[in-house]
Each structure stands twice: as C-alpha cells, then as structure tokens.
Amino acid sequence: MPKIGKKLQEARKQIDKNTLYEPLEAFELVKKVAPGKFDETVEVAFRLGVDPRHADQQLRGAVVLPHGTGKTKTVLVFAKGDKAKEAEAAGADFVGAEDLVEKIQGGWTGFDVAIATPDLMGLVGRLGRILGPRGLMPNPKTGTVTFDVGPAVRDAKGGKITYRTDKIGIIHAPIGKVSFEAQKLAENFKTLADTLIRIKPASAKGQYMKTITVSSTMGPGVRINPNKI
C-alpha cells in the first residue's frame, strides 16, 4: 500500500465520508483542505447512470465555463487563407496547414487544443494516430472542427473544456483552481452539471446522477449531494 502523507491524512480528517455536501459548502471545504504548496486544479467526477457500451449513451462534448479554468491554453489552428487570418486575429498560438502537419509528424505536440476547418480534415486525418491518443484530434462534437475559427479560438482561450464518459460511465473534468472563490467554482460546476443533465440520453434508465465527487489535485474527495443540483 502506498504511504499517505501527513498533510493528506490531516485533510481527510476534516471531511465526513458519510456526508453529501451542498455544492458551495463542498468547494469551500476543498479549498480549505487542499494540501499542495501550489495552486491546485479543482476537478469534478460525475458517475452517471449510463452504459457506454451503447453508442447513444456515450456522452461527449464541450462547454465554456463562466469563470474559465485558471489555465492559459496553447491553441493550434489548421486553416488557410482568410480563416487563417481570422484565427491569428483571435489569438491562436499556431496557425498553418501542411507545415504544421509535417511538424507534428516529426514528434512535436506543443499545444493544448487543436482546431481545424472542415476542408482541411482530410489533411489533419493523417495525424489521427498521434493526436487521437492525446485527446488532441479536432472533433465536430467538441466544436473544434468548424469554419467559425475566431469564436472557437476565443472559447478555447477563455475557459472551454471538453468532457466524455470513460468506460464505466464517469466524466472527469477540471473546473478551476484552488485560488478561485468558492462561489466561482460552484458556478463553473453548475454550468457543467446543467449541460450533462440537458444531454441525458433518453435510453438511460434509473438514477442518472449517481455520485458527484470534487477534489483538488493533491486533496481528498468531497462528495456533493446529486439531489442539490
């Protein structure tokens, strides 16, 4: 068994494992017990009543958090002509086409988000084996394959996150930093929770929001009452 540090042990003592907290109360507690000496990321895990073995219950998408994530993302855009100029004007860090494909094929992946115009997806498709496993492949479901490159770049820079169910129906997502006010973390959380409720698959049976747990990077989990969202 791995050894648990003293700070994490002390943090765990301040959380009642049998309590389902109100969202705002949960985030106040996460901030209070965060043991790291750095500005930890606050993450949420939704365990949903879905069966990802069925295609219609595989949830995937993107949402723009009202207060961002606290992290500045490096954005790459595959575009040409006027769309390339639009991407540059919106603040994209890297813009190009064949030149970027060649650079990535050479092993470079120095970016957090990749956006592509639909007409270049035939070219970008060559990078599937490199970008796919890293979660960087542009996808229409997450709004990263679009001719509206300007808004897409601004969203990515301003707090857009992507989400998807894993093999057992859990969605993990970052919703801010420990340095955020608890109210802002709660509002980011609500935006994501409302989105997941809105896209609930019609075929999903039983309780949809089974468990919700929030935590900082180094801290213990705090459970939120699913009935309070």
Residue-wise pLDDT tens digits, 183-224: 999 999 999 999 999 999 999 889 999 999 999 999 999 999
Could you write out the DSSP letters of every residue in 117-181?
-GGGHHHHGGGHHHHTTTT-S--GGGT-B-S-HHHHHHHHHHTEEEEE--TTSEEEEEEEETTS-
Higher-scoring residue by pLDDT: 205, 147: 147
Q: What is the mean pLDDT of residues 167-180?
A: 96
6-68+160-224 belongs to which CATH class? Answer: alpha beta
If you search the block for the tokens 């092993």, which residue do you land on? 107
Residue-wise pLDDT tens digits, 94-141: 999 999 999 999 999 999 999 999 999 999 999 999 999 998 999 998
The two three-digit tokens of residue 49, written as one number: 């009543």
Percent of the chain with pLDDT over 70: 94
Q: Where are the CATH 3.30.190.20 domain residues in the chain? A: 6-68+160-224
With 0.85 as the threshold, say if the pTM is over it.
no
Residues 204 and 47: beta-carbon distance below 8 Å: no
Non-local (6+) Cβ contacts of 216 within 8 A are 30, 31, 33, 34, 35, 36, 40, 41, 42, 43, 178
CATH for 75-158?
3.40.50.790
Query: Is pLDDT at 5 greater than 80 in this prediction?
Result: no
Q: What is the mean pLDDT of residues 66-80?
A: 94
